[in-house]
Amino acid sequence: MAISVREIGKTFVAEVEGVDLSRPLDAETVAAIRQAWWDHSILVLRGQSITEEQHIAFTRHFGELQDHSVKDWLLPAHPEILVLSNRGRGGVKPLDNGGAYWHSDMTYEAEPPMGSILHGLTVPPDGGDTLYTDMYAAYEALDDETKKLIEGRMAIHNYRHRYMKMAEGGKRSAPTAEQLAGWRDVEHPIVLKHPDSGRKALFVNEGFTVAVKGLAADESEALLARLYAHCVQPQFIHAHKWSPGDIVMWDNRCTMHCATQYDVSKYERTMHRTTIKGAALCQAVAA
């Protein structure tokens, strides 16, 4: 297949054309997509009419798959697929506005995912977009004083806080004993050196980062709030407006994302996500 890669809007996002994922991909095409993904943190492939098996097979080209820790949302026949659907399709529990807060996926794991591949099946005509922010650019745009303050520091991530907040708002079932036992604090550098590109990126997110290690609670809260506000300025953001069949794949280590609101009573939004295992991130890097 002859593919073309075209930057859209911002340099960290590109659209890949000329690929049909319902057909087997030759090694050359896979290599070209992989290269495009290294060159851009986010790739968009439109109009993909694929089965769950084909979604999984495509994901395997980039690494091993990682299941989500909340089993309620995994497709029974293919637990590698997380179903984000306000109608709870495929025998999974409904999930309203599942990813509607700024986050990188599953950073509460000691080895956070390398990336995710999201397939839009049914999408609302209005709202329900996914916003992405470029965490390389956000890091690079920080002032020197803030860079000095955060470099070499670690942040603590844990799923418990986010899950309980959603459960208290009635958007999640009460956690199981197994979930409660499994939610532990993990540490990642606030500024990571990307394992593939070697570039520095900010790596904190509103979803799952709970504190900056070594700071008093009020200082930690103020610093995180300042970093989050910095990262989501319009110059770093790309908005993906979904059409059915779109695939968006993102590098989880140098981007954050957030789904926008839509009228959940009026419209269905059903997305399938596969997630690719990552590795422990390097220790905090020096300025």
Catalytic residues: 103, 105, 257, 273
Q: Using the rule CB under 6 A, give the single segment among 60-68, 98-106, 132-140, 148-156 that binds ligand SIN.
A: 98-106
The amino acid sitting at 126 is D
Q: Toward ligand SIN, which CB reaches closer, 157 or 257?
A: 257
Applying CB under 6 A, does 68 fall inside the site for ligand SIN? Answer: no
**Distance from C-alpha of 87 to C-alpha of 267, rounded to nearest angstrom:** 9
Q: Toward ligand SIN, which CB reaches closer, 116 or 209?
A: 116
The contacts of residue 65 (CB under 8 Å, 6+ apart) are 56, 59, 80, 274, 275, 276, 277
Q: Which of 273, 274, 276, 281 binds ligand SIN (CB under 6 A)?
A: 273
CA dist 125 to 44, 85, 141, 242, 246, Å? Answer: 19, 15, 34, 9, 14
Could you tell me the smallest distance in angstroms from the CB atom of residue 110 to ligand SIN?
20
Footprint on residues 123-142 left by ligand SIN (CB under 6 A): 130
Q: Which of 271, 276, 281, 284 binds ligand SIN (CB under 6 A)?
A: 271
Could you tell me the smallest distance in angstroms from the CB atom of residue 85 to ligand SIN?
10
E strand segments, the chain? 4-7, 13-17, 42-45, 74-75, 78-85, 115-122, 130-134, 154-157, 186-189, 191-193, 200-202, 209-212, 237-240, 247-251, 255-259, 270-276
Name residue, tokens 């968009």.
44
Q: Which of 259, 276, 281, 284 binds ligand SIN (CB under 6 A)?
A: 259
Could you tell me the smallest distance in angstroms from the CB atom of residue 270 to ligand SIN?
10
Could you tell me the smallest distance in angstroms from the CB atom of residue 100 to ligand SIN?
8
Binding site for ligand SIN (CB under 6 A): 84, 98-99, 105, 116, 118, 130, 257, 259, 271, 273
